[in-house]
Amino acid sequence: MSSLKELLAAAPWMRGLTAAQRSRIEAQTVARNLPKGGYACRNGEAAQHWIGVIDGLLKMVVHSPEGKETTVVGFTTGGWFGEGSLLKDEPRRYDAVALRDSQVAYLPRATFLSLYDTSLEFSHFLVTQLNERLGQLIGRMTSDRLLDPNERVALCLTTLYHPLLYPGTERTLPVSQEEIGHLAGLSRPRVNYALKILENAGLLRVEHRRITILNLEGLKQHQSGSHLRPHHAAAHSIR
DNA sequence: TCATTAAATTGTT
DNA sequence: AACAATTTAATGA
């Protein structure tokens, strides 16, 4: 996607709204360019917007009190995030960092809350999105504990290919191997190795700066342990 | 439009 | 981490 208009046109939650609501959103939502490494939102700051990804790739990173950080999820083109802080009326608990030059959209907090209060369809969408995210988070936790890098790459890709959360995304994901590394917490060469394994298994095709998913179900199964490793895997999981 | 070059990305050690 | 090979994007004839 290349414009705010396209982002809003593709957004599933726009469809259930009245014309008046839609035009209010179009009038009040602003687009902003975000250079690679830039922040869409910062840990600790007041949450003033619901944030959409017009184009690009961001990662959500959380910080431990000691200053260590972990990537929780990636957000890609078509996605909207940050509703948690808005609904709970609390500061942001994470940074959203651009992994490449990106464009983001800011929908003001007041508009968001008004939609939440007045539109049943909008509320339904939020519940669905939160539910999908929860599912992804659970998958991510299991993945981290299984600690098989190949599975983690597979999970990272199936998480990114999600028509509801990231509408407008094709089966070809415009992602570099280094970016996958940042999202999955792996080194770039290890991602390269994992991708070759998945490609040889016929699950996807590796091209320059993009990955095409050939077998989504196969990738999902790959995560849930079709090639199980026995108990010694657990010994790894403590870091 | 084509050729050249610089920069980014990938494959491998 | 480092290196070579490959692909893309940018530039200018």
Residue A36 CB lies within 7 Å of the nucleic strand B: no
Q: Give me the CA A161–C1' C1 separation in Å, rounded.
A: 32
Cα distance between residue A132 and residue A80, in whole Å: 13
Confidence of residue A225 (pLDDT cuts 50, 70, 90): low
- Protein-proximal positions, strand B, CB < 7 A: 8-13
Confidence of residue A169 (pLDDT cuts 50, 70, 90): confident
Q: Which residues of A113-126 are buried (b: 16+ CB within 10 A; e: fewer)?
A: eebeeebeebeebb
Q: Give me the CA A208–C1' C12 separation in Å, rounded.
A: 26
pLDDT tens across A44-74, in order?
Answer: 999 999 999 999 999 999 998 888 888 989 9
For residue A229, pLDDT beyond 70: no
Distance of CA A137 to the CA centre of its chain: 11
- Helical packing angle, A149-160 and A120-146, nearest 10°: 170
pTM reported for the whole predicted model:
0.89
Confidence of residue A224 (pLDDT cuts 50, 70, 90): low
Q: Give me the CA A190–C1' B13 separation in Å, rounded.
A: 13
Alpha carbons within 13 angstroms on the beta-carbon side of residue A74 total 27
For residue A156, pLDDT beyond 90: yes
Average pLDDT over residues A115-128: 97
Confidence of residue A152 (pLDDT cuts 50, 70, 90): very high
Question: Which nucleotide in the DNA or RNA is closest to residue A187, CA to C1'?
Answer: C1
- Protein-proximal positions, strand C, CB < 7 A: 1-2, 7-8
pLDDT at A168: 85
Question: Which nucleotide in the DNA or RNA is closest to residue A100, CA to C1'?
Answer: B8
pLDDT at A64: 86
Question: Which nucleotide in the DNA or RNA is closest to residue A188, CA to C1'?
Answer: B10
Would you state the torsion angle of the CA atoms of residues A7, A11, A223, A150, taken in this order, to the nearest 10 degrees?
Answer: 0
Beta strands in chain A (DSSP E): 30-34, 39-41, 49-55, 57-63, 69-76, 80-81, 95-98, 102-108, 172-173, 204-207, 210-213
pLDDT tens across A170-210, in order?
Answer: 899 999 999 999 999 999 999 999 999 999 999 999 999 99
Handedness of CA A61, A91, A8, A130 (dihedral sign): positive
The answer to whether the CB of A41 falls within 8 A of the CB of A21 is no
Chain A 190-229, CB < 7 Å to strand B: 192-193, 195-196, 206, 208-210
The answer to whether the CB of A205 falls within 8 A of the CB of A199 is yes
pLDDT at A14: 97
Return mean pLDDT, chain A: 90
Q: Give me the CA A65–C1' C3 separation in Å, rounded.
A: 39
pLDDT tens across A77-116, in order?
Answer: 999 999 999 999 999 999 999 999 999 999 999 999 999 9
- Residue A63 bridge partners (DSSP): A69
Average pLDDT over residues A143-150: 79
Strand C contacts (Cβ < 7 A) comprise A 189, 207-209
Average pLDDT over residues A152-173: 93
Cα distance between residue A191 and residue A193, in whole Å: 5
Q: Give me the CA A204–C1' C12 separation in Å, rounded.
A: 39
Which residues lie below 8 Å from residue A112, measured CB to CB, with a gap of 6+? A49, A50, A83, A86
